[in-house]
Structure 1
């Protein structure tokens, strides 16, 4: 089992790019977007920058079958992946995205340049991103966005914690007039070929209605209101269950059922001639229902609830997520200095319920619906940014600033029946012993200098110091260099250090259940690393993850053609991982520690990993106006990525585990959970009346690892094709029809040896999901 090497796959990608480049000689001038991410100098374009930045327009994101922002991003940005996990509790409803194969929480997300807040959910299930608490990109509707800038480079020295893999900056729409409304309706039309049989499915509809309106405020102010409503049916892609006769699908393995409503407002108005008051606010209410594994009639009878569920039951995990995003600020010129003072607040609260279930400990008296408790996270950020340009060298831009942040995290207990004894089947509730209320503060300051030393040489230097109330201080720096050899070719490179502060969720999450064993009540579950149980096993306060980043690349541009090639290396140390269970049955030393505490098994987060990530990003774009009319836009982009875990701790200092504190599943998920190769090619043709988008995306294989090699589940290598036709019967209206995954491609089916129950049908690590062909239509009106 071998992946493509970086060299081989890069050659394949570059051959494809050469086809595009060969057509570029007669191209007209292409558009080069101005960026605000990765640089604080005004007027810098994506092709003039010292680090790679993708600029993705809102129209590109909206011209797709999926209305999920994270899913739309992954189809147009090869370095971003969005596995559609299933049967992993709350992660089914709030799924994280990854950049360059790193953990979801190692990418910083900004909204209009201001730090966004993470979800309250800690991903503790067996999914990509296990152990992370990441920003939920799907809380921002695409209708609210003007564009997205993706900085593919370490940027902790510029922006602070989390920016190890890069930065995603969501730029909101700023409209003084105009508006629009659109509705997208689609269904799956697919043939599902699992290991034990085949079936067809047409249905599982998805409806999205969105709109926006711009209003002028004063002479130059704006107010833009956006909204979106989504009603998405659950999908079911499990295999046939061999435990029932006749064999049938007993699971609901796939996307959750979702109903959500989102509203966003963005505004700015002048304060005199020199300053502007600005701000935004967004709120989302998401209701999701995903399925746990089915409990057959025999299991219900054995559990003592056969009279309640004579035919067995399928527990549903119901999450209700409420998300608030807001900011207010003042910016403008104070003498020769540009000053931006802002304050933001974000909060996410998730309530959990288990429906259509039972608590075996309560027998026939069990309820069937349970309130399991809630988790919440909130964040205050106050920031000051000051910039000034000087007439030194060719140009000199100096920026400095400070930031104060306060974070809070809580866990609230559920009702007694949800956690007592064996707890609710499918998702047990939080007990009073699991309740948490924690917070921390940090303050930081930065200096960012960017100078064009000559007309050909650009030098950038940045440094940042941060102090946290829980673990102390960090200092990080970055150097960027760009040299334009000619007006069409430039070399660029960066070197930086970075860090990610351990999240409050990682520090304080606890989910400890009571297990009855004879006359004893034993505890088992996840403990904070500073809990007495964890400390006795060697747990320590978590320290920040640290990184050293290097990148080097080149930029070619000629007329309407551009090509960027960037290689990178990211070395991580003190990586945080969720340990394997310390079980009393595994080792006498562990038993001697845990037995007096009444604990059967325990796990906790540790700084126990080191890894090296290497890769190449290639992006080519060619724009022209053909003789037959309209505009043609060719894009080919590739990411080749390799993650190598170089060290795994085998000791906490108190207890030694010869095979490592983090198991094979965790290591292989890091190394092989995202594709080693991803290549995307798109052709977009638009005229005043018609438009066509054809996109093909090749995904290398991923591994959903098991306890040993025989239990690994590989996705295989696959090409996904998307096609959309657009027609404008009148200037203000647009009709579109399309197909996502036109040729109904699935990852390789899970073999029976790794799927004895038939619950799963395909690996949920698949980077393109496992739902099959999706047909859709969209109607929109603009004014």
Structure 2
């Protein structure tokens, strides 16, 4: 598939902008709504260090999403899902049966990897999660910030910078930056109760059925308090409970003990989740124009998801324990911490921000309803499988001043330094979760998710220093420019310099052109360098899907080195962007085209040892000999070597109508995106027979990069407010996503889809507001997974690559009280 921007499509945008809209822009305001549409122009702090820049006056494109808009996306909606619903450039697939990725689901920006977008909290670098995504989902091989550790009630707004920004903010900002701005208030507050449930009818490969499941409830609130007189303290929190959904197919009769053809033994869907989160945001003026600030929070989340079902006649089942088979449950306990503080004020002619921040993410695994078949009937059924941890300490100083150097306006100079320390640790599970018992014919380790062994344990750290200069000014009244450069030095792989040049020309108050050229980089994560593990995975072979014992090897493992591993180097990028801004009365239109060339992308290799077109039989035999001492059938590891070229266009059109019949906010927003793989890693030279060129990065991985996210996503809605009544209607169109396999005969697509969401609100007296709504009102589903890929157990009912999930129609209600 290729991007097609036709004349009719552009005309459609222009005309539909006056008819349809999405709350992305219409309600994306931190200030109260204005009656005059021309006054709706939010001040932003992301992408610029100049004070007072509005969203439409910035050189780089920035979306502003209000906290109010985020809370209107359903019952207890995950932040990543809410952002995806509002911002077309963000995609949030819902993987299932992908081990840890079921519990920490990554989002993507502009079709790039989840860890190629930098996430900030109040402008400070946030920490990534401990998890590294190692199974068959979008973002495979990546380590990313877990957006769902911060509830929507905590946020005043979110700013999404859609442009390369490594020169301004450091590593990982290849696709852009998401800045989570916490709510700030010294008075007022609100309490909100949400409830929702899925009620859906769908068809899988082996038949039809209906489900009423996935019940969700949450209680959230915030309160603003004065702090020592003239300061503020804003507290917020949420308690959330989500029941699991199940969209598995019927199992084949041969996998059911009684031979039934209408029995579901798998569980493919959202995990069961309970989460408790609390955050604070505080500030206090000091003497001499200085002020102190602090913010942070904590979340504890318990989650459980299913692994692939084990049929009664599975080789690793013990019928004395599970006579009809079993469904392994992977349970996680996730703890996420954030604490930041600093002081701001003038000194030596600069406005300073001196800050320190610390964050940690911990993920502990348990495996329930399972067994270690190598212990036979004596096996336990519940296991402590160990865990992962990651933390980050940052210390920084930023300074800004205006310099009069003879330009049209004073030059804005920003300089800064930062020290960052990161650490990653893996802790082993209990011995029975990973070792082999006395029954030699049974599979070792807890089925579904074998525990981490002592050989997998690590405790590694690194540090880096960074320094930047950021200039922004005006050469004439119409011509603005920006120049930024950043140097970083890492203790493990060396140094890196990135730069950015940007400009904007305002032909009139109504029309401007803007553009930028920048370089960027993403440092190899500690997780990618030091993670290792042995697991039982679903693997697509030429004959179909099989369960197989595979090893994830460290990049310095001797076997990995023989198979082509090398020390990891940073990814690098060159970003180009060109766009236009149009303001005409109540109409706003922005169009931004971009190209992002990324070199030496870090990937997770193919499962080597599996028979496939790029691995001849003789190579398979050579790999089997290497893997024999590890007691595994396949091996994977991280490596550099993939180059990609991503091109796309973002279009956002807004219009506001105000009158006697209320206010109507209209927006139409779309992202058109295409990625091409231009280079793949070379094959190792020391195998018995040289495999094909795509030996380390096979057909399925290449096509996942190129066609694994929608090449077209359009979000349109209308938001109408009249006195106490509010109505929102939204339509989202998704292009079909290609689900590739190494055997082309197993390929299929998710299918194109159009989803409709509706919500009605009414504000009662005394600050009480009630709302009811439906997401995916028409009950749309992606195309189901063919029986050749969902296996005899029918575990995988739908593709995890679906950009809108696979749960169907969702009804919800919301009741809030503001004071």
Which whole-Å CA distance do the structure 1 matches of 2:323 and 2:536 have between them? 27
Following TM superposition, by how much is the alpha carbon of 1:524 offset from its aligned partner in structure 2, in angstroms?
5.2
Change (3 A) 1:546 1:704: same
Change (3 A) 1:688 1:273: farther
Change (3 A) 1:166 1:537: same
Following TM superposition, by how much is the alpha carbon of 1:596 offset from its aligned partner in structure 2, in angstroms?
7.8
- TM-score norm. by structure 1 comes to 0.95
In structure 2, the residue matched to 1:606 is 639
Residue among 414, 418, 431 paired with 1:416: 431
Which whole-Å CA distance do the structure 1 matches of 2:305 and 2:722 have between them? 42
Map 1:488-637; keep pairs closer than 5 Å.
488-512=510-534, 525-583=551-609, 586-587=618-619, 590=623, 601-629=634-662, 631-637=663-669
In structure 2, the residue matched to 1:763 is 799
Q: Does 1:657 align with 2:691?
A: yes
Q: Does 1:451 align with 2:485?
A: no
Q: Does 1:371 align with 2:384?
A: yes
Moved more, 706-715 or 443-452: 706-715
Deviations 1:270-302 (A, max 9, x none): 111411110111100000010011112222xx4
Deviations 1:291-333 (A, max 9, x none): 011112222xx43611111121110000110000110111112
Following TM superposition, by how much is the alpha carbon of 1:536 offset from its aligned partner in structure 2, in angstroms?
3.5
Deviations 1:622-665 (A, max 9, x none): 11213312x21101100000010111123245455314211222
Map 1:289-304; keep pairs closer than 5 Å.
289-299=304-314, 302-303=315-316
Map 1:75-474; keep pairs closer than 5 Å.
75-243=85-253, 244=256, 245-247=259-261, 248-299=263-314, 302-303=315-316, 305-391=318-404, 392-395=406-409, 396-421=411-436, 422-474=444-496
Following TM superposition, by how much is the alpha carbon of 1:28 offset from its aligned partner in structure 2, in angstroms?
4.4
In structure 1, the residue matched to 2:24 is none
Moved more, 26-35 or 553-562: 26-35
- Cα RMSD (Å) of the superposition? 2.1
Following TM superposition, by how much is the alpha carbon of 1:708 offset from its aligned partner in structure 2, in angstroms?
2.0
Deviations 1:14-35 (A, max 9, x none): 51333325999x9742311111
Following TM superposition, by how much is the alpha carbon of 1:512 offset from its aligned partner in structure 2, in angstroms?
3.7
Change (3 A) 1:28 1:64: closer
Change (3 A) 1:638 1:399: same
* Aligned residues of 2:427 and 2:457 also touching (Cα < 8 A): yes
Which whole-Å CA distance do the structure 2 matches of 1:709 and 1:250 have between them? 28
Which whole-Å CA distance do the structure 2 matches of 1:210 and 1:720 have between them? 27
Following TM superposition, by how much is the alpha carbon of 1:561 offset from its aligned partner in structure 2, in angstroms?
1.5
Residue among 7, 12, 33 paired with 2:9: 12
Q: Does 1:55 align with 2:64?
A: yes
Residue among 759, 766, 769 paired with 1:724: 759
Following TM superposition, by how much is the alpha carbon of 1:592 offset from its aligned partner in structure 2, in angstroms?
6.8
**Corresponding pairs, count:** 770
Moved more, 245-254 or 387-396: 387-396
Query: Match of 1:7, SS?
Result: coil
Query: Match of 1:6, SS?
Result: coil
Which whole-Å CA distance do the structure 2 matches of 1:528 and 1:497 have between them? 29
Query: Match of 2:13, SS?
Result: helix
Which whole-Å CA distance do the structure 1 matches of 2:40 and 2:536 have between them? 62
* Aligned residues of 2:20 and 2:667 also touching (Cα < 8 A): no
In structure 2, the residue matched to 1:519 is none
Map 1:682-697; keep pairs closer than 5 Å.
682-697=717-732
Change (3 A) 1:565 1:349: same
Moved more, 468-477 or 270-279: 270-279
Query: Match of 1:298, SS?
Result: coil
Deviations 1:653-693 (A, max 9, x none): 54553142112221111111110000000111123411111
Q: Which runs of 5+ in 1 are unaligned?
A: 516-521
Change (3 A) 1:653 1:482: farther
Which whole-Å CA distance do the structure 2 matches of 1:283 and 1:23 have between them? 39
Q: Which runs of 5+ in 2 are unaligned?
A: 22-34, 437-443, 538-547, 611-616
Change (3 A) 1:780 1:27: closer
* Aligned residues of 2:20 and 2:717 also touching (Cα < 8 A): no
* Aligned residues of 1:612 and 1:646 also touching (Cα < 8 A): yes
Change (3 A) 1:601 1:586: farther
Which whole-Å CA distance do the structure 2 matches of 1:771 and 1:524 have between them? 30
Deviations 1:434-461 (A, max 9, x none): 1111100000100000011111000100
Which whole-Å CA distance do the structure 2 matches of 1:191 and 1:330 have between them? 55
Change (3 A) 1:200 1:513: closer
